[in-house]
Amino acid sequence: MHKHRERPADSALGLALLLSLAVLGVEVVAGLAAHSLALLADAGHIVTDVAALGLAWAALRFARRPVNARRSYGYHRAGVLAGMVNGGTLVLVVLGIAYEASRRLLNPQPVQGPIVIAAALVAVAANAFIALRLRQAGRSLNIRAALLHVVGDLAASAAVVVAGLVIVLTGWLYADPLLSLAIAALIAWSAVRIMYETYNILMERMPRHLDLPAVEAELAATPGVVSIHDVHVWGLDSEQVAFSCHLAAAEHLMRPLETMLCDRYGIGHTTIQVEYCHPCAPDAEPGAGHGAGQHNHPHAATV
């Protein structure tokens, strides 16, 4: 099993959560002072970010729990579930932004531009820093979903800055809702991709970076391997891949085969069932005997 560095991600999510809470406070105070619906709406978006980051941080810590009798693979998919929930909340955020933007198009509201710009610039700086830290923390689905929330808020805050400048310079109040709709479309596309990936993992689809025929061919070409069948490959989460197969081969081949699968294909969880005599017939029942003596050949599992 691969050992991944979790601490940088844990630290990045904790810092992101604290900074998001600070930005939320700044935007609420500034929005009320400037009578800015745009800032208050962006603050509402940050509330979802705070919830998403808190969920991602909790899922990351939960995923570190050791395996037990009921969870033989541990809790790696806690991050996948968090990614799916975060993707779903992003869809709700998009609907909220679209609804609010439609209202503003029908009834534009005047705002105090300078206060809006100053508060939004604080949010842009904080979210840019958070996004950079999360990007460096890893590429797990959980981290990517949290990063997507932060990037979405960064874009929304940047749009508020642009809209504030346009309103201050030209007085054109439609800039804010139009930019908000464009941001909503971008977030929606990314949210759908995150949810589709979590769906594929939960349905145990073959990881995209793997070519199953190539894996089978390389195993079969190993000296001492007689045959390989009943092959299964699936993702425990977005980073860890599991593998199992039935292999007719000499027992001493197991360690080199596991090392090859790990180094070349990134498969960290390997289960190879060894058939010391000959492979089971494709239509044989589990535990059925073979040949005239109807003997049961021994099996060994290597993980």
Report all structural domains of the chain as residue ranges with CATH numbers, in order of start.
Answer: 7-202 (1.20.1510.10), 212-302 (3.30.70.1350)
Of 2, 12, 4, 3, residue with least CA distance to 56: 12
Question: Distance of CA 74 to CAs 4, 12, 69, 245, 271, Å?
Answer: 14, 23, 9, 21, 16
136 contacts 11 by C-beta, under 8 angstroms: no
120-171 per-position pLDDT tens digit:
899 899 989 988 888 887 766 667 777 877 887 788 788 788 878 887 888 7
Structure tokens at 111: 């705002």
User: Residue range 34-45: average pLDDT?
Assistant: 73
Amino acid 299: pLDDT: 37
Place of tokens 């535990």: 287
Amino acid 2: pLDDT: 43
Asked if pLDDT for residue 300 goes beyond 60, the answer is no
Structure tokens at 104: 């503003």
Amino acid 6: pLDDT: 44
| Average per-residue pLDDT for the chain | 75
Amino acid 258: pLDDT: 83
Amino acid 302: pLDDT: 39
Amino acid 286: pLDDT: 41
What is the value of pTM for the model shown? Answer: 0.57
Amino acid 239: pLDDT: 66
Asked if pLDDT for residue 30 goes beyond 70, the answer is yes
Lowest mean pLDDT among 56-70, 174-188, 287-301: 287-301
Amino acid 7: pLDDT: 60
Place of tokens 């492979």: 279
Q: Percent of the chain scored above 70 by pLDDT? A: 81
250-297 per-position pLDDT tens digit:
667 777 888 888 888 888 778 787 765 544 454 444 444 443 333 333
189-239 per-position pLDDT tens digit:
777 877 887 888 788 787 777 888 888 888 888 888 888 878 888 877 666
Amino acid 297: pLDDT: 38
Distance separating alpha carbons of residues 37 and 25, to the nearest angstrom: 15
Of 260, 295, 256, residue with least CA distance to 276: 295
- Of the two residues 122 and 301, the one the predictor is more confident about is 122
